[in-house]
Amino acid sequence: MNAEVPPGIALFDLDGTLLAWDTQLLFRHHVIRREPWRALLLPVFLGSLALLPILKLGGLKRAFLSYLWRMPAPTLAAHARAFAAAIVPTFYPELREALENHRRQGHFLILSSASPESYVAEIGRVLGFDLALGTALAPAPTCPLLPKLVNHKGAAKVDRLYQLLPSSYFAGGKLLHSHGYTDSRADLPMLALCHAASVVNPDAALATLAHTAGWQILRPPRPWRNRADFWRQTLAFLTGGKTQDTR
């Protein structure tokens, strides 16, 4: 399929890139604060941690999502809409400005995340992305204990872009006039599609790659004082406890 090529294409990861936290953790917190009984399902996830070598990341994600057990699809959709509206104002201002700069230039905006598409799509709608992609859960009237999913991570992000975007957007294995944003080495396949890249609060290995490739490094301040504070807040998000900052 051929289509007019936009003047630019911007690809944004979500977790750790547009905001500091993993949105899977924040969405869990959002749901449990509204339906506290779901915190009782935490042992399903904790028990799966010892099986990581067998379950792999996709299986672990299924166990993490066990807190959605028996949730009707309309309720999940309502939670996703409310969550998106609440979480977008906490995004890094520097990354919001980068996004708006691409928008002003008429670029095609893509949000590409490994988090569940149920709320990634809503976040994309709130922020005005042209395309928002995440991990798709198998359709069901109510969510099973271990929902089936297609993990949208690493090379899977690239495969999906080739499936959905017009062939005219690609040339020589690259997306034309493209700029990718991420915080993670898991997105190196996505960055390989891009002519330019920015990495957000990269670890040492990704920072080294960025320096070698000439990518921009962004270091917006994170909303935790130290590692102890990070783990304190993480535990609160995981269990539905009180926390003052969800950025």
Helices (H), the chain: 23-34, 42-48, 52-64, 73-87, 93-104, 117-127, 155-164, 188-191, 204-213, 227-239
Chain centroid to CA 231: how far? 20
Please list the ranges in the chain whose pLDDT falls under 50.
1, 246-247
Tokens 């042992």 sit at which residue?
43
Cα angle, residue 38 at apex, residues 35 and 39 outer, rounded to 5°? 110
Summarised one tens digit per residue, pLDDT across range 168-196 is 999 999 999 999 999 999 999 999 999 99
Summarised one tens digit per residue, pLDDT across range 61-99 is 999 999 999 999 999 999 999 999 999 999 999 999 999
Residue 244 pLDDT:
60
Q: Which helix (H) or strand (E) holds 9?
A: strand 9-12
Whole-number Å distance between alpha carbons of 48 and 81? 29
* CATH assignment, 9-239: 3.40.50.1000
Residue 247 pLDDT:
40
pTM for this model (two decimals): 0.94
Cα angle, residue 121 at apex, residues 107 and 25 outer, rounded to 5°? 115
